[in-house]
């Protein structure tokens, strides 16, 4: 089985995002929830993510709401709670319609300046009632101004306690940027990844939460490329070697859109810490004129790595995801029976 741990519902039927738009414009959540039929959802998936799964030979996507539309900076805690609920319910419906192809990961009702303990109830609902296996955690709810405390601050601890209790990991994933300095998918996303890793490196977070797990998407931002810098910084700061200090808790996905980058990732990061992902349908949608294949057809890059053993490849494609998403295997069994 080939599990893609990073897919977003970027193709949701238009009334879904339209509801948020009017909510933000009116600063009110009073409008009735959009009416979207199962057929509309089927159509949005069959022509999009499912089509690509088949074409590319992947089996299952760990699926979450569109990251750029979380836009926690556009709302307050109450607005974002209604919006998250709506987005997560849509994901649940996708998983219900295609139980062999999608497992859910939830958006959280974070809001700038609001302690993330406010996200516990929605996480519990999604995990316990909807069968979700993880969440997307935004390290910068201010959308590019980075005004909230670092991920390693006690501000986040009550939420982490619930993650640990429920045995669900978080993908560290920023949303869109309202700071004109940062292009969302070209700068803010990658910076968010790099920033989170360095916050973890300088902290004792995983001494406090030995079983807490994070996936850093987009191939870990700049981290694998600068692995020598991070190893050196950790050593200069008298931190333990990174493998021991962070790699029981921090994992990287493979959303790197060219072979040399994927090669580097697999060369410097232990195979056990790499989870297959494509981010599709996501940031880059075209074909690479040099190869004739889609930039985000990341499976081709993994398949092209001669240094990987078959066991390595199975880990990247399936085993590591089953280990990091502790509830995944049981949830898959439930969904496959459905």
Report if residue 155 touches a second copy, rule: CB under 8 A.
no
Pick from 86, 103, 283, 321 the residue near a second copy by CB under 8 A: 283
Residues 6+ apart with CB under 8 A from 21: none
> Looking at 6-14, 96-104, 180-188, 246-254, which segment touches a second copy (CB under 8 A)?
180-188
Distance CA(93)–CA(113), nearest Å, equals 31
Neighbours of 8 (CB within 10 A): 26
Distance CA(335)–CA(338), nearest Å, equals 5
| Burial classification of residue 95, based on how many CB atoms lie within 10 Å of its CB (0-12 exposed, 13-18 middle, 19 or more buried) | buried
Site for a second copy in 287-316 (CB under 8 A): 288-289, 295-296
Pick from 263, 300, 305, 322 the residue near a second copy by CB under 8 A: 263
We find the least distance from the C-beta atom of residue 99 to a second copy, in angstroms, to be 32
Report if residue 89 touches a second copy, rule: CB under 8 A.
no
Report if residue 183 touches a second copy, rule: CB under 8 A.
yes
> Looking at 19-27, 39-47, 117-125, 198-206, which segment touches a second copy (CB under 8 A)?
198-206
Helix (H, G, I), strand (E, B) or coil at 102: strand
We find the least distance from the C-beta atom of residue 156 to a second copy, in angstroms, to be 12
Backbone phi, then psi, for 232, in 5-degree steps?
Answer: -70, -40
Listed residue (188, 160, 321, 310) closest to 252, CA to CA: 321
Angle between helices 189-201 and 227-236 (to 10 degrees): 30
Pick from 74, 85, 140, 312 the residue near a second copy by CB under 8 A: 140
From the centroid of its chain, how far is CA 296? 16
We find the least distance from the C-beta atom of residue 264 to a second copy, in angstroms, to be 5
Q: Which of 85, 122, 279, 318 is catalytic?
A: 279
Listed residue (171, 99, 91) closest to 135, CA to CA: 171
Nearer residue to a second copy within complex by CB, 21 or 285? 285
Nearer residue to a second copy within complex by CB, 289 or 306? 289
Whether 279 is catalytic is yes
Nearer residue to a second copy within complex by CB, 123 or 190? 190
Question: Would the CA dihedral through 31, 37, 40, 45 be positive or negative?
Answer: positive
Angle between helices 14-26 and 77-97 (to 10 degrees): 170
Nearer residue to a second copy within complex by CB, 54 or 258? 258
From the centroid of its chain, how far is CA 192? 12
Site for a second copy in 203-232 (CB under 8 A): 218-219, 221-222, 224-232
Catalytic machinery residues:
279
Interacting residues toward a second copy by CB under 8 A: 139-140, 144-146, 148-150, 179-183, 185-187, 190-191, 194-195, 198-199, 201-202, 218-219, 221-222, 224-233, 235-236, 256-258, 260-261, 263-264, 267-268, 283-286, 288-289, 295-296
């Amino acid at each position: 089985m080939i599990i893609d741990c990073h897919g977003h519902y970027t193709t949701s039927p238009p009334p879904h995002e339209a509801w948020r738009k009017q909510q933000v414009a009116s600063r009110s959540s009073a409008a009735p929830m959009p009416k979207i039929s199962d057929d509309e959802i089927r159509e949005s998936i069959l022509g999009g993510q499912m089509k690509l799964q088949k074409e590319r030979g992947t089996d299952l996507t760990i699926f979450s709401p569109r990251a750029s539309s979380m836009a926690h900076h556009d709302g307050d805690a109450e607005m974002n709670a209604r919006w998250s609920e709506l987005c997560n319910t849509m994901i649940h419906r996708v998983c219900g319609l295609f139980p062999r192809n999608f497992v859910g990961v939830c958006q959280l009702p974070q809001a700038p300046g609001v302690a993330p303990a406010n996200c516990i109830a929605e996480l519990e609902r999604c995990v316990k009632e909807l069968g979700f296996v993880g969440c997307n955690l935004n390290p910068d709810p201010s959308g590019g101004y980075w005004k909230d405390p670092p991920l390693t601050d006690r501000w986040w601890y009550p939420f982490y306690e619930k993650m640990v209790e429920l045995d669900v990991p978080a993908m560290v994933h920023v949303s869109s940027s309202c700071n004109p300095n940062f292009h969302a998918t070209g700068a803010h996303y990658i910076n968010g990844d790099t920033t989170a890793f360095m916050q973890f490196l300088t902290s004792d977070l995983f001494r406090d939460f030995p079983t807490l797990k994070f996936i850093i998407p987009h191939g870990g931002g700049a981290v694998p490329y600068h692995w020598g810098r991070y190893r050196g910084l950790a050593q200069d700061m008298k931190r333990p070697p990174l493998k021991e200090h962070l790699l029981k808790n921090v994992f990287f996905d493979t959303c790197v859109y060219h072979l040399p980058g994927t090669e580097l990732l697999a060369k410097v990061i232990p195979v056990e810490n790499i989870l297959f992902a494509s981010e599709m349908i996501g940031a880059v949608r075209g074909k690479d004129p040099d190869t004739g294949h889609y930039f985000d057809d990341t499976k081709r890059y993994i398949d092209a790595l001669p240094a990987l053993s078959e066991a390595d490849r199975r880990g990247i494609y399936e085993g590591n995801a089953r280990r990091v998403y502790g509830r995944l295997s049981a949830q898959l069994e439930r969904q496959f029976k459905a």
